[in-house]
Chains A and B, each alone.
Chain A
Amino acid sequence: MYEFVTGPLAWITFLVFFLGIIWRVVWYVRGLSWQLDRVAYGYHRSYGVRGALRSIFYWLVPYGTHGWRYHWGFTVLVFTFHIGLLLTPLFLRAHNVLWMERWGFQLPSLPEALTDFLTILVLAAALGILMRRFVRPEVRILTTLYDIVMIAIAVAPFVTGFVAYRHWGDYNFWLIAHILSGEIWLMAIPFTKLSHFVLFFLSRAQLGMDYGIKRGGMKNKGLVW
C-alpha cells in the first residue's frame, strides 16, 4: 500500500494536479473576450498590468483592503489558515527528508516546534471558519455541504499528518491516510472550488484590468481597494 500511494498514485496525483492547473489557466484566459467582457485588455496593456497587480497585491496583504479591514476578525482566520496551509507542507522537515531521499534536493526546513504550531493554527482557523458558517446568518444562507467538504479536504492532511508524526494509534494507518488525503487535496484543486489556488489570481487580475483600463484606472492612480 505504501509503495502504491508513494509510487504510481503519487505520479498520477502530480500529473493530474499540474495538468489540471494548466488547463484551468488556459481555459480561463482563452475564455476572456474584450468584446463580451467590455475591457480592452490588449489595447492598454500597461494600464491593464498595473490594475491587475494592484488588484492582486492589496488583497494579499492582511488589512490591505477595505474589505479585509471591515471584516477584521474573519481576516485573521483567512490569513492564518492560508499562510499555515501553504507554508507547512512546503517547509516541513519530514517532507524535506523525503524529497532529499527521492530527488536529491530539498527546500529549507522550518523548526519542528514551529510547524507543529502552524498546524494547530491551521486547524484552529479552520474550526473558526467552519463555525462562522453556522453562526453568521449571511454565511449560513450560502453554505452547502460542498463547502463543508472543501474544508474537510483541506484540513484532512493536517489532522492525519499531525497524528502520524506523533505515532498516535496505528502509525501505518495514519501515514497512508495522510498521504492519501494529501493526494485527494492536490487532485481536487483543479476540479473544485479549491481551484481558487490559481483562479483567485486570474479573477482578481481580470477585475483589476477592468478597473485599470475602463473604470477609471487611466484617469487616476487606480481604485483604492
Chain B
Amino acid sequence: MPEGTLCNKKTVDTKEYLQALLADKSGKVYYEEMNHLDVNCDALWQLIQKTCKSRLRTWLEICAHCGMCAESCFYYLANNKDPRQVPSYKIQSTLGELIRRKGQVDNAFMQMCMDTAFSKCTCCTRCGVYCPFGIDMGIMFSYLRGLLFSQGFTPWEMKIGTGMHRVYRAQMDVTTEDWVETCEWMAEEWEDDYPGLEIPVDKEDADIIYTVNAREPKHYPEDLAEAAVLFHLAGENWTVPSEGWEETSLAMFAGDWAACKMQVESVYDAMHRLRPKRMVVTECGHAYRATVIEGPYWAGIPSGQTPVESLHYVEWVAEALRTGKIKIDPAKKIKEPVTYQDSCNYIRNAGLKDVAREIMSYIAEDFREMSPNKEHNFCCGGGGGLNGIGRYRQQRNIGMKVKRDQILATGAKLVIAPCHNCWDAIRDLEEVYRVGIRWSFLKPLLINMAVVPEHLLPEE
C-alpha cells in the first residue's frame, strides 16, 4: 500500500512538509493514514539486528519475571496497580515480542507499540533503578521509539517536532533572525530597570555561552530577559550564539536519532566557533539530557562529553549563590512551605540532586522534600514528550495523580520546577485536579530575591 502524504516513513526535511503536517488539525488525517501504513518487516529486522546488541538482548532475556519493577512505575500506581502497567510486561509485550517474532509484525502491532511507548512510558528510567538485574525499561522504550520512527509509527506532534529540529534546528519555528531580534528586544525592554543590561550575541571567548528552549523566545521571552538580568547581576561575561542557540530535542522523544545528531551538532558548532569556557543550559531537563548527556554520543565523541564543560541552569545558580556572585536578601527568602520537583533528566539521569538542595538552602526557609525524592522521585507525569501529545492526554492526566499526591503530602503550596516539561505538567495537574498549588521556575524567584549590586542600580 502506498504511504500516506502525511504519515509515512520519510523524515520531515522541508518547510512544506512541516506546514502540511501542522495544517492537519490534531493529526486527524495523519492518524487515519497511519491505519494503512505498511510495516517493512525486513528493514525492521535488519535495523534490530544492527542496533540491538547484548545489553538490550540480555535485559529482555534474563528478566526474572519477579515484578519488583511494578511499584517503581508511576503509571502502575496511578492506574490502580493495573498489572498491564507493570514495566516488564509493557516492554516484553512490545519490544520483547517484536524481537521474538523477528520483526514479522503488522500495522496493529506497531500501533500498539506506539501507544505503549508513548502513553505508558515517559522513559523516566525509575524502573531500572528498582530492578535487581538493572534492566532499564525506560531505555528500552526509547530504543523502541527509534524503531517505530524508522517505520513511521510516531505520534503526530512528535513527527512535527522532528521536522522542526531538521528545518529550524529548534523545537519551534524560530529562525536566527527571530532569535536575535527577540534578544535585542528583551534587552531593550528591561534596560530601564537594569542599566547596562545586554544580551550579547556571538561574543567570542566569553566565559559562558547560554542556550535555551525555543519556546522561550517564541512564547515566554521574559525568561530570556530574566536570564540576562541574573547573568548581569552576577557579573558574568556571557553570550548567546546566533546559531546553535537551542538545546532541546523533541527528536530524542521521537526516536529520530539522525535529527538528534544534527541538533546537538548545531550547538557544538557554536561552541567551536565562539570558544566559550563553559555552556549554561536554561531550565530544561530533557534539553540538558539531550545536549549534554546523550548528545556527545550521537555526535560520535568518544569521551561522551561536550566540547566545552556544560552546566544545567541549577549548577550555575548554585555556583552563583555559593560564590556570592548572586546574593539573596534574607527578608525576601521564600518563607512559605516549598517543595522541589526532581526532574528525571537532570536528577536521576545526570546526578544533580545535591545541587538542587544547595540552592534551596539559600533561598527557602521551609523546604519540604517530596517522598520519595532525589534520584528516587517520580516522573512529573508529562515527560518524554507526553505533555504535547493530544492523542494520549487522558493517559497523561491519570498518570499525574502520583505527582499530585506527592506534592499534597508535603504540605507545600509552591513547587519549584526548573524544567519546562515538569513545569507544564504541574501547571496541567493543577488545571485538571484543582488542588490549589503554584509552581515556578528559579529565574523569577531569584530576580525577586536577589540583591542588586550598588553599581548596577538605576540612577534615581
Enumerate chain A interface residues (CB-CB to B < 8 A). 27-40, 43-44, 55, 59, 66-68, 70-71, 74, 78, 133, 136-144, 147, 193, 195-196, 199-200, 202-204, 206-208, 210-211, 213-220, 223-225
A219 and B352: CB pair below 8 A? yes
Which chain B residues border A207 with CB–CB below 8 Å? 128, 134, 136
- Other than the known A142-B65, A216-B375, A223-B129, what 15 A-B pairs have Cβ atoms closer than 8 Å? A28-B58, A31-B54, A31-B55, A40-B304, A66-B376, A67-B131, A138-B71, A138-B81, A147-B64, A204-B133, A208-B134, A215-B350, A216-B348, A218-B351, A223-B348
Query: Which residues of chain B are within 8 angstroms of A200 by Cβ–Cβ distance?
Result: 62, 132-133
Nearest A residue to B127 via CB reads: A67
Distance from B157 Cβ to chain A, minimum over Cβ atoms (Å): 25
Q: Could you tell me the distance in whole angstroms from the C-beta of B67 to the nearest C-beta in chain A? A: 4
Given known contacts A142-B86, A219-B351, A70 and B71 CB-to-CB distance under 8 angstroms: yes
A36 touches B66 (CB 8 A): no
Most B Cβ at <10 Å: residue of A138, A203, A207: A138
Q: Who on chain B is nearest to A141 by CB? A: B83
The answer to whether A32 and B65 touch across the interface, beta carbons within 8 angstroms, is no
Contact in complex: A143, B81 (CB < 8 Å): no
Across the interface, which residues of A come within 8 angstroms of B353, CB to CB?
Answer: 220
Q: Which of B109-117, B147-155, B219-227, B292-300 contacts A (4 or more CB under 8 A)?
A: B292-300
Interface assignment of B273: CB less than 8 Å from any CB of chain A:
no
Distance, CA A55 to CA B129, complexed state (A): 10
Known: A28-B54, A147-B65, A215-B350. A43 touches B134 (CB 8 A): no
**Could you say which residues of chain A place their CB within 8 Å of the CB of B84?**
141
Q: Which 10 A-B pairs have the closest CB atoms?
A: A216-B351, A31-B54, A207-B134, A40-B304, A138-B70, A142-B65, A139-B67, A38-B297, A141-B83, A67-B130
> Is B350 within 8 A of A32, CB to CB?
no
Q: Mark B240-276, 1 if CB is under 8 A from A, else 0.
A: 0000000000000000000000000000000000000
Minimal Cβ-Cβ distance residue in B for A194: B62
- Of A43, A137, A138, A211, the residue contacting B303 (CB under 8 A) is A43
The answer to whether B54 and A30 have CB atoms under 8 Å apart is yes
CB contacts (< 8 Å) of A224 on chain B: these are 374-376
Q: How many angstroms from the CA of A147 to the CA of B64 in the assembled complex?
A: 8
Please encode chain B, from 64 to 79, with 1 for each CB lying within 8 Å of some chain A CB and 0 for all others.
1111101110001000
B59 contacts the other chain (Cβ, under 8 Å)? yes
Contact A220 B133 (CB under 8 A): no
List 8 contacting pairs A-B, 8 Å CB cutoff, sorted by A: A31-B53, A38-B304, A39-B304, A199-B62, A202-B58, A203-B134, A214-B304, A223-B351
Contacts of A202 in B (CB 8 A): 58
B415 at the interface (CB under 8 A from A): no
Cross-chain contact of B304 among A31, A44, A66, A220 (Cβ < 8 A): A44
B104 within 8 A of A: no
B431 at the interface (CB under 8 A from A): no
Residues of B within 8 A of A140 (CB): 83
Q: B62 touching A196 by the CB < 8 A rule?
A: yes
Q: How far is the CA of A151 from the CA of B236 in the complex (A)?
A: 63
Cα–Cα, bound, A216→B304 (Å):
12
Considering only CB atoms, which chain A residue lies closest to B346 in the complex? A216
A177 → chain B closest CB, angstroms? 26
Kindly list chain B residues whose C-beta atoms are within 8 Å of the C-beta of A141: 83-84, 86, 89
Q: At the interface, yes or no: B57 with Cβ under 8 Å from chain A? A: yes
Give min CB distance, B363 to chain A, whole Å. 21
Asked whether A206 lies within 8 Å of B348 as measured between CB atoms, the reply is no
Cβ of A36 and Cβ of B134 under 8 Å apart?
Answer: no
| B338 at the A interface (CB under 8 A) | no
Chain B nearest CB: distance from A82 CB in Å? Answer: 11
Q: Tell which of B132, B294, B304, B354 touches A67, judged by Cβ atoms closer than 8 Å.
A: B132
Chain A CB within 8 A of B51 CB:
yes
A31 vs B348: C-alpha distance in the bound complex, in angstroms?
Answer: 26
Given contacts A59-B132, A203-B62, A208-B134, contact A34 B302 (CB under 8 A): yes
CB distance from A137 to the nearest CB of B (A): 5
Evaluate contact between B53 and A203: CB separation under 8 angstroms: no
Q: Which residue of B62, B63, B372 has the most chain A CB atoms within 10 A of its CB atom?
A: B62
Beta-carbon nearest neighbor of B128 in chain A: A207
Interface presence of B387 (CB below 8 A): no
B94 interface contact, C-beta 8 A: no
B354 touches A220 (CB 8 A): yes
Whether A216 pairs with B352 at a CB distance below 8 angstroms is yes
Q: Which residue of B lies closest to A33 (CB)?
A: B53
Question: Of B53, B83, B352, which is within 8 A of A138 by CB?
Answer: B83
Residue B92, interface by CB 8 Å: yes
- Asked if A66 and B54 sit within 8 Å, CB to CB, the answer is no
Closest A residue, CB atoms, query B135 = A203
Q: With the chains together, A138 CA to B88 CA distance in Å?
A: 10
Residue of B nearest to A207 (CB): B134
For A67, the chain B residues whose CB sits under 8 A away are 68, 72, 129-132
Q: Smallest Cβ distance from B260 to chain A, in angstroms?
A: 11
Q: How far is the CA of A214 from the CA of B304 in the complex (A)?
A: 7
Q: At the interface, yes or no: B107 with Cβ under 8 Å from chain A? A: no
Q: Which of B53, B57, B66, B135 has the most CB of A within 10 A?
A: B66
Determine whether B410 belongs to the interface, using a CB cutoff of 8 Å to chain A. no
Cβ–Cβ < 8 Å partners of A39 in chain B: 304
